[in-house]
Amino acid sequence: MAPVDPVVKLFTSATSELSSLIDRYEALFRHEEEFPALFSKTELFGSHTTRPLSTVLSHLEGAQKTYGNFQSVNKNYFSVPMEKICNLLPAISSLFTEREDLIKDIDKYQKKLHKFEGIERTGENLAKMAKHQVQLDTSTARLKVVDVLINRDLKELTLRTEVFLCRILKAHLNWEYQSSVVSVEADTKLAELFCNASRTGSLATLETEMNNQLSELRKLPLTRRG
């Protein structure tokens, strides 16, 4: 096993998990076209009073915007950089494997040449020695090339990984901040919603109000914007 094989498996797994997350997001909003101008029609309910269903639609619109932002961030900072890293890893792994094979071959050819020391230098023996020497020189030259390639690719891998990890950290901190803001806003709106329900008398009144709004919404023509 080459030294970078575990890293190859790690990044391959991470890429698979990210692709799965993207698929789940896309499945959630796959039928977006079936909800054409609902968001722009919520003003028909009037802004002078709290409309629970309007709030729900507003949250859904916010979720769609968040999904759009997520797609953009993922494309620019996650999927593409991770794909570049994953493309480098198999090549590096292959170079390490080749390097190990070359070292074994060099050792083998050196042992074969060593056997000819002290042996009569006949034409046949000289031919065999020349053959093994060519093989040794070829393998040694290739080993030097492989070492240069490994050094180059490892530097590139290190650079890409550092940039990628910095982006992940930045995105994580930003995500934590945005999540806390959204959580506070959601808790506040939920509190206001139930506060309004308590002023009207009961949750049954709130449920009736939401059902009425849903009935109004179903009467609206479903035509796509644009």
Task: Report the mean per-residue pLDDT for the chain.
Answer: 69
- Give the count of domains, the chain: 1
What is the C-alpha separation between 42 and 54, in angstroms, rounded?
6
Residue 157 located in a structural domain = yes
Cβ contacts of 215-221, under 8 Å, gap ≥ 24: 216/44, 216/45, 217/38, 217/41, 217/53, 220/37, 220/38, 220/41, 220/44
Which tens digit of pLDDT belongs to each residue from 50-65?
445 555 566 666 666 7
Question: Does 76 have pLDDT greater than 60?
Answer: yes
Residue 161 located in a structural domain = yes
Which tens digit of pLDDT belongs to each residue from 165-221?
777 766 666 666 666 665 566 556 555 555 554 555 555 665 666 666 556 555 654
Residue 31 located in a structural domain = no
Residue 74 located in a structural domain = yes
Residue 40 located in a structural domain = no
Look up residue 5 and give its two tokens: 């094989």
Residue 77 located in a structural domain = yes
pLDDT band of 226, cuts 50, 70, 90: very low
Residue 200 located in a structural domain = no
Quick one: three-class SS letters along the chain?
CCCCHHHHHHHHHHHHHHHHHHHHHHHHCCCHHHCCCHHHHHHHHCCCCCCHHHHHHHHHHHHHHHHHHHHHHHHHHHHHHHHHHHHHHHHHHHHHHHHHHHHHHHHHHHHHHHHCCCCCCCHHHHHHHHHHHHHHHHHHHHHHHHHHHHHHHHHHHHHHHHHHHHHHHHHHHHHHHHHHHHHHHHHHHHHHHHHHHHHHCCHHHHHHHHHHHHHHHHCCCCCCCC
Question: Does 42 have pLDDT greater than 50?
Answer: no
Which tens digit of pLDDT belongs to each residue from 103-112?
999 999 998 8
Residue 139 located in a structural domain = yes
**pLDDT given for residue 30 in this prediction:** 55
pTM equals: 0.46
Which structural domain, as residue segments, surrounds residue 138?
5-22+51-168
**pLDDT given for residue 192 in this prediction:** 58
C-beta of residue 143 within 8 angstroms of C-beta of residue 131: no
**pLDDT given for residue 43 in this prediction:** 43
Question: Does 17 have pLDDT greater than 50?
Answer: yes
Mean pLDDT of 119-144: 88
